[in-house]
Structures are given as structure tokens and as C-alpha cells.
Structure 1
Amino acid sequence: MASTRGFANTKILIIGGGISGMAMAIALTTSYNIKDIVIVEKSSGFGGTWRDNIYPGAACDVFSSLYSFSFAQKFDFTRSLPGQEELLEYLTDVAQEYKLYQIARFNSSVRQMEWNNAEMKWHTTISVDGGKDAEYGNSYEIVSDFVISAIGQLCKPKGFDIPGLSDFHGKVMHSARWDRGFDIANKRVAIVGTGATAAQIVPEIAKSTAHLTVCQRTPGFVIPRHDQELPQWERLLRFYFPPLRSRIRAEAMNFRELFHSAVTQADSPYAALMRKMNDGLLQKQLGHRPDLQEKVKPRYNPGCKRTVISNDYYPTLARDNVDLETAKIERITENGIKFEGADQVKEIDVLILATGFDTFNFLGGLQISGINGQKLEDIWPEGVAKALKGIMIPNIPNFGMLYGPNTNLSHNSLILVIEAQARCLAAMINTIYSVREAEGGSLAVWPKKEVTERYWEKLQEKLQNTSFADPDCTSWWRRHDGTIVNNWPGTAIDYQRLLEEIKWDDFDAAGTAAKKFNEEISKKSTQNVPRVVEEAWLSRGALTAMALAGLAGGVILHRVWRHFGPLRMG
């Protein structure tokens, strides 16, 4: 892969080296041979979420057969629901295979981005956060034609706004910033949060802590985790028999898509199934503890919050060394937690914050100035993030984002969304470059404000009719005013199809090549970007019928050959 034109200049700057940033770089290089790219990543390597989240029990809730890039499928995951270490190893291998290390700069974060109207380029300030590079200077500027944000929604750990936290003399750590050098064994521990992350941590640390207090605000829907070790023979069969692995991935896709109604429509049969599964776990695992059953039983519709998938969370709450505390935290003291209504402070040595992320602050709090110096906070008044199809923002030219506003899935693999976004943005960038280079000038493109507003309003209408809008619970998807800024209301396939068509009439353009661009789109206002089709087209019954028909045909041919073959040979 070619290097950049210069250390401080590049065609495309990608912010983030997680799944999104990797997908974007690979889409540009493999589909359009665009290689003048720089990836800046805040951490010390590729992997994103799976590099940051190293807490005990960290694992994926999506089938391993579906949780890999379509163009770089991993066939030999050791479990049906893979763990953090195996996922990080996979992503590292992909980065190596596609030569992404050659264009990456680690320990580098973005401070601010400014669009220069005269140059028609982005000026992005990079902060060097560590390593030898920091000895040469703590910041520098990159000038680029395009900037792609691959920061995502789950990058900035959410703070804990409780009085007295700074007074605590013990150990405090967030789940996404786990201190691997700290030994938690035989300590008195409290964990704040009972979501999907906490449900993975709690069963693991309860085995070694002296005592564990689980601080619950709202219980979650917990359903069985159908995880198992994949035997060596099955992994080998998947590797050497492509039709089998394709079918397994397709069936995983179909199953996940069917699950969509369970988390969006409260009156759907699948939502009823979720309630039944949760009730079954409660009865089976906590039937002997009606006091705990009452505390952890959800009283809202499935899908309002992220579903917890676990086989050992409920049983852990019933352990002798574990307490479930549902009272509100009044304050943190030097040596523990004071709960409302309690006479005494609960003494602890360690406080774990499984409080999630600042999900409403898209783009990680970057300072962005677009056309004529317009600030992002002015484009997004009151912090309500709006982006056309979740990937482009009005008055922010030559800019794209992956896993942006209203693109989160709660039922399927996010890789399906991210790949579609990367393919769409790469196609758009290639078209813009083609027009610009043909004209020999400058070109900046951004979505029209009115088009973006209409898109967002229609999206909100759909979202308000889903379980995400249930007023009986709070989630990281819904703001205090009821606006849902994170989730997509449809299926993964619905979103992929949305990105199959680029409507150039939805965009404004500026620069010396803008006239040529407008002429081109007047001839052909849309551009097709075919999606990757991964769902199964044929049912198992149809496949069985085809197999039987093929077998019958083979028998007939064999008999014909036995009868006529020797005569012909003679």
C-alpha cells in the first residue's frame, strides 16, 4: 500500500481504528484503489471496542458466524458467541492482511477540525498522546480533502455524577477502562449498573471477591445465552466446505432479523416470547428467592433497554457474598456508599462503574467548524444529532461518519450496518474525486439541510411507534425529551437497502468543479451501490427438496450410465 503524500497531507483522514475505521479504509482501497489515507487512533492499536473493553467476561452477544466482515469472514471462532480476546485477535489479523498498519498513527487523537473555504480542505489538529512521537511534539495539523469519523457511539465512558466520588479513598474504575494490574480478589466491591456489561462482569468477579454489592436502578430483560464451544471438527468443516459456512451465516442473519419485532413491537409474538423466556429464567434460577425475583423483574416492554443475554447473572445475585441494592445512591463517602434510607454506610474497597457511555454526544465532543466557520453545536442545536441516513451532516462538507445518529441496531450485528455505510461513503468519495479530477478543480459536497430535516422527522415518527419510546424505562438510546437519537427503527436489511441508492439531488456543492458536478447529477440523479446480500434466499425445506432431487437425479444418471455406457464404450 502506498504511503501518504506527506506526513501532514492526505486525501482522506479517518478518525478511529475500530471496526468502522477499518471497514472504511478497506472499502476505499479495495473497491476504488484510493490509498492516500491516514488513520488516526487514540489507543495503541486496532480493535476499537474490543481493544478498550477488557473487563472480566467481556464477550459478544451476536453469533460468531455473523460477527465478522463479509469480505474477511472468520470460520474458526472457538465459540458460538466469541470473547473479547478472540475478537481482538481477528481484527488485528484483518488489519494486518489489508496492510492498515502502514497508514495508521496510534496514540493520536483529534482535537478540532476546521474547513477552509478558500482551500476547500480540512485542517485537523492531531494530539500525540504517547510514545516516542510525543517527544517530537505534542500536536500537529493534517490537511485533507475528506474526513471520515469512525468514532462511533460507544467511545467516551459516561461519568458518574454522584456527590462525594472524589472523596472515596478506594479504587475506582470504569468498565471500559479496566485496570488489568489491579487484583480484585478478596476485596469488598460495588458495581454501579445492571446492563449488558455489568451482567458479564458480575458473575466473573463474584467468584473471587470477599463481597459484591450490585447497585441497580432499573432491571433488564434477561434471556438465555445460547453459547457453546465449537468442536474442532465443526470448525474444520466450516473452513473446508464453503457452502456450509455460507448457509450457517445466512441462517444466523435470518434469525437475527426475525428477532427485530421482539425489540421494537411490544405486541409482537417475538416480544411475547422474550417475556416468556425471561419469566422462565426467573422461575428456574430464582424460584427459591422471591425477594430477588421481585427486584429484578422488568416492568416495561422488551426492547426499551438493551436485552441482557446471560445464563449466570441471576444465579450470581443469589450467592451468599452478593447483595442486590435497589435503593438510590445518596452519596459516596471516603470508605463506601451511603444509600437512601440506610442508617449506615456500606463499606467497600473498590467501586466499578458499569455506567455505559456518553451516547448522546456524537463525534466524541470534537470541535468542528464547517462552511463559513459554522460550528457543529449550531448545526445540532440542543445537542440533537441529525445526519442524512446517519452518515452526512448539513454544512459540514466532504465529511462522513460511520455508526452515526440513528444507526444503532439492538437485534443484529452492527457490522452489517458499518459495511453498508463504508461502501456508500466510499462510492460517494470516488464519484466526487472523479468529477473533481475530470474538471481539474475543487469540489465540496454536503447534504441539504431541508432534506436532512425531512429524513430525521420521518425517522422520529417511526421511532416513536417502537418499544424504544416506552416511557416506563430509561435507556442510552432516548434523550430526556423523548427524542431517540441512537437507534434505527427498521431491520438491518432495511438500512442496507436505504444506502443502496445515492440521491445526488439531496446534496449541495461548491468549488470550481461544482458546475460540472451539477451537470453530471442532472443527467443521472442517482447512483446505485449494491449491498452485500447475506440472508438465506431458500428455506431449509427448499434446500432439502433440492438435495433430494439432486440425489434422485444422480441415481437415475448412474443407472442410465450402467445400462448404456458399456455399449457406447464398446
Structure 2
Amino acid sequence: MSTPVNTRLPVGNKDFTNATVVIIGAGISGMCMAIDLIKRNNCHNFVILEKGSSVGGTWNDNKYPGCCCDVWSSLYSYSFEQNPDWSREYPGQEEIHAYLMRIAEKYGLYKYIRFNSTVEEAQWDDNESNWKTSVVVTGEKDSEYSNSYILKSDFLISAVGQLNLPRQPSIPGLEDFQGKMMHSARWDWSYDITGKRVAIIGNGATAAQIAPEVAQIASHLTIYQRTPNWIIPRGDGPVSAFQRALFKYFPPLHWRKRALQMDFRENFHTVIKDDNSPFAQMIRDMSTASMKAQLATKPELWEKLVPDYAPGCKRIIITDDYYPTLARDNVELETRPITHITETGIEVEGFDEQEYDLIVLATGFRTVEFMHPIQIYGANGRPLQDIWKDGAVAYNGVTVEDLPNFGMFYGPNTNLGHNSIILMIEAQSRYLNGIVGEVIRARQKGKTLSLKPKLAVLKTFNEKLQTALRNTSFADPNCNSWYKRDDGVITNNWSGTAIDYQLNLSKVEWQDYVVDGTGKGDVEGKATTKLGRVREETLLSDTSLLIVGAVSLLSAVGYFAARSKMLKAR
């Protein structure tokens, strides 16, 4: 008697090259998808392919001095796994990475992750109705067993994100420099900066975090600025042990703090929606006042540091120590265009070179080239390069034309300029798990099922989205940003609030999809599947909060009283 296929067993050695779902990337998105596969679909037959040696995604890649999040710590965690013990209002890289490692451990994800595994290519097989993903094993010892293999799956998830492939600037002579050069996302901590002459090319959020740290130990620092940024105070500080204890034993307080922070961040979208709004003017006034106060002795820098574009067109930088860094005697702001990099330094327009020991490239990532350099081939062997020849688009930012049973996180037009990206990621995970669930159920019945968005639906969605985006500050022609392509089309950002997006993904409209396979009869004509969403904005009144909190407090008191009694009995 043959043994039936069980899609709920973990992938082991015997099924090493077969899985129900393959997830590319073990960052915040990939782990969220994996946790939801277990919780929502009772699916354990999945593999996470991670090209690095640790979980964490961008928080494992970016380890430069001063690396931290520009979203409040209370907002920067999964809603279902909130962390009451953040040490600061804005968490640093190491603390975020430690949180993500705890998540992987708590939910038992390590047994599903294959580290040092790089995806080079993935092809959809129309005949077998599955994906064939080509994996290259980069770990020295692991590659001794097999340096590459093909992994089959019913569903493929991209969780590679937008901030994973460093962008090298197009500057003549970049390869000629004989000193030390490093990209901010590939920081070499073995290099001692003490007493060195350092140049930072770029002045975005990353540079604003690196510069204050480097300036303290370098003999000289020059920051090469192409365009100025709107910069507002962060107001960072430690979270007291007392407050952390309250959050831990009185959770509603932490929920309320998170909800209020979300409300504020959602209201911040007004800056993006209307660059003439009072909120946008407040950003201008706050940034200018902060600059003049902290650079009172350097008025010659004021004009160079005030943008001529709308707040929000580029990401607003939140920092307490960038302007004070520019006020230091050993720091110079250079705004003249770089013409050439020589063997020993950098030349700017009309001036001789300035020599450096280290050049830091704080030049961001290849954000508009989604999925690069992975080669994807969909239905009828159609390459993703052809599908996106006119630019990257996806339905709801998660499913793509002619890519059956494929989903992506942090895809086209899902980035935010005002709130926590984790709010978007959780909505995407719910939605994709709703679709994956149907594929799993078909497989359990011995059937095949493939789903891809209808082209007309995708086009209508994108047209409405781009119309909305053209009326936001993102579209200001006076600035270039990683949010948009060279032709001005905004491919990275969402047009509305996080709540707007959550509502969009709170249900699956099956009529929006082309359904194929022997199991299509179970899905065609199916009614809308309501998924719901995580409601994190302020909902409870203070009275309700106190009632819920009192119950939590009494439970905690009861626990400690019982524990104390047990200890005394011993």
C-alpha cells in the first residue's frame, strides 16, 4: 500500500529537493511568511533560502557605525511579537538583529533555513505546475556535499526586499583608488579608522548615522553632498528600566504607546499628500530652526543645507547629531560635484584632489531593479526582464503578471516614507498565505492549482496608483530619490497610508486571478475570502485600557504572590 503525500511534514533529507513553498530570504519578510505558513496554514513543508550566514536580512547586512532604525522601537516589531524591552526609543542594528534571532529561535525557524544558499534562477514549469529554483551553495564546507541543486516547489516567495544589493556610484576613477574603500552595507570592522582621513560619498540617512561616529575618531572627515535633505530632531533616549517593567507586566501600556506612535506616523502622511499642508510647513520650520541653532557658528552652511524640494520627496532624515557633527572643526561639507577619484583621493569641479585613507560609499542600493540579479522565468518561459521591460509593477505590490504561484514582499510600490514597513509586511503575509492556502488544499486533494493576476486588473490597479502618486511630494521634479526611476516614475512607494494598504490586502478577490490546473473548479467563481487585518491604531478608550490593564496587572501580582508562597513553602 502506497503512502499518501503529506504536505505537513518538515522538509528533511529524503525530500531535500522538494517543498510546498520556497521562500527566498530570511529577513523580517521571509520569517513573517514562514510563521504565518505554520500558524495560518499548518504548513511545515517549506524551505527558506538565505544567501547570508544569519537571519535578519538588511539588519544582518548593515553593520556600519551608528546603524539604527529611524522608526520608533515600539513600532518596529511584529504585532504578534511585540518587544517590551527595547533599550532605546530608536533601536540600534545589534538590538534589532538580536530581536530577529530570538524570533527565529522562538518559532523554530532555524530548521527550515538553508544558509549560504544563493538563488541564481527560478523557472515555472507549465507541465508540472511547479517552480524549479536553482540554488548555489556558497559555504565552503556545505559546497563539498553539493555546490548546486534544483529545488522544486508549488509556490515561490521572494522576500529579498529592496535594500539588499549595494549601489556603486558612477564616478570616473572609482576603481583607481589605492586606499581603503567600502560600501556602508559591507562594512569592514577590521579596518581601524582612528586618526585617518575619511571621505563619505552621500548624505542620506546612512551617511547621517555614520558621520557622527566617524568624526569622533578620524583626524578629518569630508562629507560629499549632492543634494541637501530635510532633517528633523529624533529625540532619542534610553527607555528606563521602570518603563520597560511596566510594558512587560502591564502590556496594555505598551499597546497604547505603539498605537499612539502609529497614529502620529499615519498623520505624517499629510506631508506626502500635500506639500502645502501645515504639517509640511512644520517640517520645514523645524528643520530650518534646528539647523540654524546647531550651526550658529557656521552660517555659510545654511544655504547649502536647505532643500528646494517638498518635504517627503526624499526620505526625511531623523537625527539628533548630524548638524552638530558638521559644526566640528575636523569635519567639512563638500557640495561641489565630484569629477574624478584618483589613486590617493577625490577631485571636485575646479579644484585639486583631496587625499584620503578611506572612502565610504553611502550610496544606497539598487532599489528599482527588483529581484536583481535573480533570473525569473514565468509561464511559457517568459522572463521577468521582459514582463518588467517598462518598469516593475505588481498587483497590490505582491503578485506579478505571468508568474503563477508567485508572491513577493516589499515589492513595487510598497515602500513607505512615513511609517513602519513591518505594518506592510504583515498585511502582505496574510494575503499571500490566503493564496498559498488554496494551493496547499489542492495538493492535498491530489490536484494542481496555479494562480496569477489578470493583466487587466493589474493595469487598472497600477494606473490608479500612479495617478495618485503623481499628486504626492514623491513626484516633486526638484529632487531625485531612490523612490523613483530616472524617468520620474515612482516604482518604490505606496501612495496612501499603511491602513489604506492593509484594507486593500484584507481580502482576496478570486475573480482578480487567472486560475488554472486540475483544481481550478474549486476556486473559479469562489466568493471573496476575507482575511482581516491587524488593527493597531488607537481603538480602546482610556477606560477600556485601564480595565484590560487592571486584569493584566492583577494576573502579574497573582503570579508573583503564588511564586513567593511556593518559595517560602520550600
The interval holding the TM-score normalised by the smaller chain is over 0.9
Q: Which amino acid aligns with 1:10?
A: A
Deviations 1:84-130 (A, max 9, x none): 11100000000000000000000111000011111111111001112
Q: Measure, in 2, the Cα distance between the counterparts of 1:125 and 1:300.
A: 44
TM-score after normalising by structure 2: 0.93
Aligned match of 1:140: 149
Aligned match of 2:406: 399
Q: How far is the alpha carbon of 1:456 from its aligned partner?
A: 0.5
Matched, 1:493 2:495: no
Aligned match of 2:536: 534
- Secondary structure of the structure 1 residue equivalent to 2:198: strand
Q: Measure, in 2, the Cα distance between the counterparts of 1:294 and 1:247.
A: 41
Contact 1:397 1:444 in 2 (8 A): yes
Contact 2:292 2:299 in 1 (8 A): no
Q: Which amino acid aligns with 1:366?
A: I
Matched, 1:257 2:263: no
Q: How far is the alpha carbon of 1:287 from its aligned partner?
A: 2.2
Contact 1:190 1:350 in 2 (8 A): yes
Q: Measure, in 2, the Cα distance between the counterparts of 1:534 and 1:482.
A: 33
Q: How far is the alpha carbon of 1:180 from its aligned partner?
A: 1.1
Q: Measure, in 1, the Cα distance between the counterparts of 2:218 and 2:116.
A: 34
Aligned match of 1:110: 119
Deviations 1:145-188 (A, max 9, x none): 11000001111000121111111100110000000111111111
Aligned match of 1:564: none
Match of 2:519 among 489, 508, 513: 513
Aligned match of 1:411: 418
Q: Which amino acid aligns with 1:543?
A: D
Aligned match of 2:566: none
5 Å-filtered alignment, 1:302-381, equals 302-342=311-351, 344-381=352-389
Aligned match of 1:543: 542
Runs of 5+ unmatched residues, structure 1: 552-570
Aligned match of 2:66: 57
Q: Measure, in 1, the Cα distance between the counterparts of 2:165 and 2:113.
A: 21
Matched, 1:227 2:226: no
Q: Measure, in 1, the Cα distance between the counterparts of 2:195 and 2:103.
A: 39
Contact 1:172 1:351 in 2 (8 A): yes
Match of 1:470 among 476, 492, 504: 476
Aligned match of 2:193: 184
Q: Measure, in 1, the Cα distance between the counterparts of 2:82 and 2:544.
A: 28
Q: How far is the alpha carbon of 1:138 from its aligned partner?
A: 2.0
Contact 1:151 1:364 in 2 (8 A): no
- Secondary structure of the structure 2 residue equivalent to 1:359: coil
Q: Which amino acid aligns with 1:330?
A: T
- Secondary structure of the structure 1 residue equivalent to 2:523: helix
Percent identity between the two aligned chains: 51
Q: Measure, in 1, the Cα distance between the counterparts of 2:253 and 2:294.
A: 36
Q: Measure, in 2, the Cα distance between the counterparts of 1:161 and 1:50.
A: 26
Q: Measure, in 2, the Cα distance between the counterparts of 1:353 and 1:546.
A: 48
Q: Which amino acid aligns with 1:533?
A: R
Aligned match of 1:561: none
Deviations 1:370-410 (A, max 9, x none): 1110111111114x101000000011000000110000011
Q: Measure, in 2, the Cα distance between the counterparts of 1:139 and 1:356.
A: 30
Q: How far is the alpha carbon of 1:3 from its aligned partner?
A: 2.5
Q: Measure, in 2, the Cα distance between the counterparts of 1:177 and 1:547.
A: 47
Runs of 5+ unmatched residues, structure 2: 1-7, 551-570
Aligned match of 2:44: 35
RMSD between superposed Cα atoms in Å: 1.6
Contact 2:154 2:439 in 1 (8 A): no
Aligned match of 2:558: none
Count of aligned residue pairs for this structure pair:
540
Deviations 1:340-359 (A, max 9, x none): 111x2111111100000000
Q: How far is the alpha carbon of 1:441 from its aligned partner?
A: 1.6
Q: Measure, in 1, the Cα distance between the counterparts of 2:45 and 2:543.
A: 49
- Secondary structure of the structure 1 residue equivalent to 2:71: coil
With over 3 angstroms needed to count, the CA separation of the structure-2 counterparts of 1:121 and 1:547, relative to structure 1, is closer
Q: How far is the alpha carbon of 1:220 from its aligned partner?
A: 0.4
Aligned match of 1:433: 440
Q: Measure, in 1, the Cα distance between the counterparts of 2:201 and 2:273.
A: 27
